[in-house]
């Protein structure tokens, strides 16, 4: 049974919205399952630190992007809009090139808060980073889009 409360179609991959950090870093949603969302980010000149390894901040961006998209899909429009409240990341293994893949799964999906676990892995499915994102669901009457 699916946890999603908004319609989602994937097709050739779901790009992140234009003119956002996700677009700038090349993040793409590649798979949506009944209770998870998966996406990738290239490890390249945009996402590495000076030593040529995946930047911890870029890992956090991927984790927050995937967790936020998942939270959005798991929130009915009439219930409000999820916004990031806290992110935690443990960087486990360095990665110097290729793609990093993130998978967001719910730990808790409630009316006013959600907690998501996002695992980032390399091409050999080895854990690169483990992250947890907590979001607050702002009531629909108070939610306003950014201008």
Please count the other Cβ atoms lying within 10 Å of the Cβ belonging to residue 136. 15
Closest CA to 117 of 53, 27, 108: 108
- What per-residue confidence (pLDDT) applies to 8? 80
Q: How far apart are CA 59 and CA 55, in angstroms?
A: 6
- Mind telling me the catalytic residues? 64
The pLDDT tens digits for 99-141 are: 999 999 999 999 999 999 999 999 999 999 999 999 999 997 7
Give me the chain's average pLDDT, please: 92
* Torsion sign, CA atoms 123, 126, 129, 133: positive
The class of domain 14-138 in CATH terms is: alpha beta
Q: How far apart are CA 129 and CA 63, in angstroms?
A: 9
Q: What is the pTM of this model?
A: 0.92
Q: Is the pLDDT of residue 12 over 90?
A: no
Residue ranges per structural domain of the chain = 14-138
């Amino acid at each position: 049974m699916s946890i999603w409360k908004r319609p989602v179609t994937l097709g050739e991959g779901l790009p992140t919205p234009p003119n956002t950090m996700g677009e700038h870093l090349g993040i793409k949603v590649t798979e949506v399952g009944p209770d998870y969302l998966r996406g990738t980010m290239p490890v390249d000149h945009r996402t590495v630190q000076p030593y040529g390894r995946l930047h911890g901040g870029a890992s956090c961006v991927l984790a927050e992007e995937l967790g936020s998209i998942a939270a959005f899909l798991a929130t009915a429009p009439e219930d409000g809009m999820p916004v990031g409240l806290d992110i935690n990341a443990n960087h486990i293994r360095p990665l110097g090139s290729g793609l990093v893949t993130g998978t967001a799964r719910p730990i808790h999906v409630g009316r006013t808060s959600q907690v998501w676990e996002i695992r980032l892995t390399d091409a050999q499915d080895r854990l690169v980073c483990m992250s947890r994102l907590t979001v607050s669901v702002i009531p629909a009457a108070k939610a306003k889009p950014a201008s």
